[in-house]
């Protein structure tokens, strides 16, 4: 090959993105029979169709020497029938993501031919390339890769045009993206969601998202035309809005606050305003909408996520504490991870503790304090007047990724468990059971000598018939990581759980 598929890092980043998305979705590749031998493909000897126009002078000199001219001398690939096209897509799917020359050879016959690329999209629609309907086939994966590469290459900004553009083989970039947006409505799940997620994340060689605010009207039109997919299309717009710095973005933000038509779009809009000069106005609006009796659970969740992510930390802590419930755990963790967020949570907690009020709010505030040290959390676990708050402090401490198990913590949990019927000094049984399971996991991770004591404690819990069965089963499940298979099977049988 005389030049590279793309900027090399761009090509690698794209395919790693595809691989990560498929992995996160738990996708299993299902081969699809070709119906015959794979025909030979002469594209392996083609000059590169995809070298960026911003190549160095040395690169350009080598390219010129290689073919006698600085302009690419490319031939349009032949139109493939469906059988050969399916073979080409499987070849793309099976190509090593880090082998740029092989990727180029596999992609060129599809990307550089408008009929082949159009037919790829047609086959993807309506499940024409699907395997068993639940997992992506090799042909679907190949099609997704080809379409994404084409979208990036065709829509390359000025200064990053590829050899495809110079040779007249590239399609209109914007028109191609619009075609992909419309086609999403005809692609079946899970392929549709995978393609949409990748399109939302894909970036061009200038590191910008492919979509910008100029696609806003089309995205809204498609959301209105396909109500069942409105979250998908408005979710794409939310990603654009979250990154856009264009002047018109604030007007769109305000529009979304008025319409509140999509939770994802609302989160993006509200977060932008909360992080900007109009944060106080946005926070008042958020309070009014959240507290309105007819606001849906989905919109409330969208508001709390935006507040936790972008509002000034002190005000975010007050907002979340005033409306805290067990479903806000992730938002409080998000706030606790922000700069100054832990201090804001602690201030909100102690203000309520001094007043002796809002135990539920205190408990949820403590759930977000994973960045606090063991001394602070043990103090709360020992001193808060409400047993549930004390138990939450133990859970937060032992669930922290940086928790270092000590004998003192296990002793504290044991004493709290022994006095669980005492509302003033005891800990709730559920909090102790889950905390000890967390403790054992951390002790194993850190090779702590305290692991043996934790395992003994879990055995005692599993055998305590005064506890609810679900707690005993949780302890038994936790023990599976610390006992041999034979030991665990024998214990399970003896306890009849």
Rounded CA-CA distance 497/493 in Å is 7
Q: Angle at the Cα of 40 (from 36 to 44), degrees rounded to 5?
A: 140
Any domain includes 417 = yes
User: Is 280 strand, coil or helix?
Assistant: helix
Q: Tell me the pLDDT of the chain (497 aa) as tens digits.
A: 333 333 333 444 454 444 444 444 444 333 333 333 344 443 333 333 333 333 333 333 333 333 333 445 668 889 999 999 999 999 999 988 778 788 888 888 998 889 999 999 999 987 888 766 567 889 999 999 999 988 888 877 766 656 666 666 678 888 999 999 999 999 988 889 889 988 888 887 778 888 888 898 899 899 889 989 988 888 888 888 777 766 667 756 766 766 677 888 888 888 888 888 888 988 998 999 899 888 899 999 999 999 999 999 999 999 999 998 878 999 999 999 999 999 999 999 999 999 988 999 999 999 999 999 899 999 999 999 999 999 999 999 999 988 999 999 999 999 999 999 999 999 999 999 999 999 999 999 999 999 999 999 999 999 999 999 999 999 999 999 999 999 999 999 999 88
Looking at the domain assignment, is residue 304 inside a domain?
A: no
DSSP per-residue codes, 80-107 = PPHHHHHHHHHHHHHS-TT-HHHHHHHH
Q: Which pLDDT score is estimated for 90?
A: 93
Distance (Å, whole) CA 497 – CA 492: 6
208, 228, 249 - which closes a domain? 208
- Are 169 and 49 spatial neighbours (Cβ–Cβ below 8 Å)? yes
**Residue 52, φ and ψ in degrees, nearest 5:** -70, 150
C-alpha distances in angstroms, 480 versus 242, 436, 468, 483? 44, 14, 19, 6
Closest by CA position to 122, among listed 168, 165, 182, 175: 182
The first and second tokens of residue 148, run together, are: 């994404």
Give the C-alpha separation, 185 to 126, whole Å.
9
What residues contact residue 21 under an 8 Å CB cut-off, 6+ apart? 194, 197, 198, 201
pLDDT, residue 247, reads 66
Alpha carbon distance 106, 48 (integer Å): 11
Residue where a domain terminates, one of 208, 223, 248: 208
What is the number of structural domains in the chain?
2
238 belongs to a structural domain: no
pLDDT of residue 44: 37
**Residue pair 286/316 in contact by the 8 Å Cβ criterion:** no
Query: Is residue 287 domain-resident?
Result: no
> What residue numbers bound the domain in which 120 lies?
1-208
- Tracing tokens 């700069």 back to the chain, one arrives at 339
Instruction: Report the C-alpha gap between 174 and 259 in whole angstroms.
Output: 28
- Examine residue 221 and state whether it is found in any structural domain, yes or no: no
**How far, in Å, CA of 142 to CA of 102, rounded?**
14
In a domain, 253, yes or no: no
Within-domain flag for 445: yes
Looking at residue 189, its pLDDT comes to: 86
107's tokens: 């992609």
CA distances in angstroms from 479 to 403, 460, 475, listed in the order given: 19, 11, 6
Q: 163, 182, 208 — which closes off a domain?
A: 208
Q: Determine contact, residues 138/93, Cβ cutoff 8 Å.
A: yes
Given this model, what pLDDT does residue 454 score?
Answer: 96
Intra-chain end-to-end CA distance of the chain, in Å: 64
Collapse the DSSP code of 395 into the 3-class scheme (helix H, G, I; strand E, B; otherwise coil) and give the result. Answer: helix
d(CA 335, CA 320): 10
Beta-bridged to residue 349, according to DSSP, are none
pLDDT digits (tens, 9 = 90+) for 220-266: 899 889 989 988 888 888 888 777 766 667 756 766 766 677 888 88
- Residue 105 Rama label (left phi>0; alpha psi -120 to 50; beta): alpha
In a domain, 241, yes or no: no
Q: Rounded CA gap, 395 and 388, in Å?
A: 10
């Amino acid at each position: 090959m005389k030049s590279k598929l793309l900027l090399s890092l761009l090509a690698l980043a794209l395919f790693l993105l595809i691989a990560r998305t498929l992995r996160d979705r738990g996708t299993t590749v299902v081969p699809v029979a070709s119906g015959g031998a794979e025909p030979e493909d002469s594209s392996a000897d083609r000059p590169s169709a995809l070298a960026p126009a911003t190549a160095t002078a040395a690169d350009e000199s080598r390219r010129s020497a290689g073919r006698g001219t600085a302009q690419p001398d490319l031939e349009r690939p032949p139109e493939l029938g469906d059988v050969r096209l399916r073979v080409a897509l499987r070849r793309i799917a099976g190509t090593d993501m880090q082998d740029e020359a092989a990727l180029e050879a596999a992609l060129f016959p599809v990307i550089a031919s408008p009929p082949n690329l159009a037919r790829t999209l047609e086959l993807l629609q309506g499940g024409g390339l699907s395997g068993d309907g639940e997992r992506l086939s090799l042909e679907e994966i190949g099609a997704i890769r080809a379409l994404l590469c084409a979208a990036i290459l065709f829509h390359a900004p000025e200064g990053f045009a590829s050899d495809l553009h110079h040779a007249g083989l590239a399609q209109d970039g914007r028109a191609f993206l619009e075609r992909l947006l419309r086609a999403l409505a005809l692609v079946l799940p899970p392929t549709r969601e995978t393609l949409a997620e990748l399109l939302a994340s894909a970036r061009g060689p200038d590191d910008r998202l492919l979509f910008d605010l100029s696609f806003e009207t089309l995205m809204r039109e498609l959301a209105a035309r396909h109500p069942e997919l409105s979250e998908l299309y408005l979710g794409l717009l939310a990603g654009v809005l979250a990154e856009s710095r264009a002047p018109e973005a604030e007007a769109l933000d305000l529009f979304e606050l008025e319409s509140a038509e999509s939770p994802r779009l609302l989160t993006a809009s509200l977060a932008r305003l909360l992080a900007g000069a109009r944060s106080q106005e946005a926070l008042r609006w958020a309070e009014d909408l959240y507290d309105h009796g007819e606001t849906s659970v989905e919109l409330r969740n969208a508001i709390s996520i935006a507040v936790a992510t972008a509002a000034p930390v002190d005000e975010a802590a007050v907002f979340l504490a005033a409306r805290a419930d067990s479903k806000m755990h992730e938002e409080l963790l998000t706030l606790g991870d922000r700069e100054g967020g832990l201090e804001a949570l602690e201030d909100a907690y102690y203000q309520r503790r001094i007043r002796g009020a809002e135990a539920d709010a205190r408990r949820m505030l403590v759930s977000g304090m994973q960045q606090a040290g063991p001394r602070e959390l043990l103090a709360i676990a020992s001193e808060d007047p409400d047993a549930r708050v004390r138990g939450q402090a133990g859970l937060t401490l032992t669930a922290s990724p940086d928790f270092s198990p000590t004998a003192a913590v296990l002793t504290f949990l044991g004493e709290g468990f022994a006095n669980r019927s005492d509302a003033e000094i005891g800990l709730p049984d559920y909090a102790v059971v889950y905390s000890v399971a967390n403790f054992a996991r951390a002790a194993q991770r850190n090779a702590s000598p305290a692991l043996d004591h934790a395992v003994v404690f879990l055995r005692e819990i599993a055998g305590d018939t005064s506890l609810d069965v679900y707690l005993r089963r949780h302890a038994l499940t936790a023990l599976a990581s610390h006992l041999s298979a034979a030991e665990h099977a024998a214990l399970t049988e003896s306890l009849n759980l």
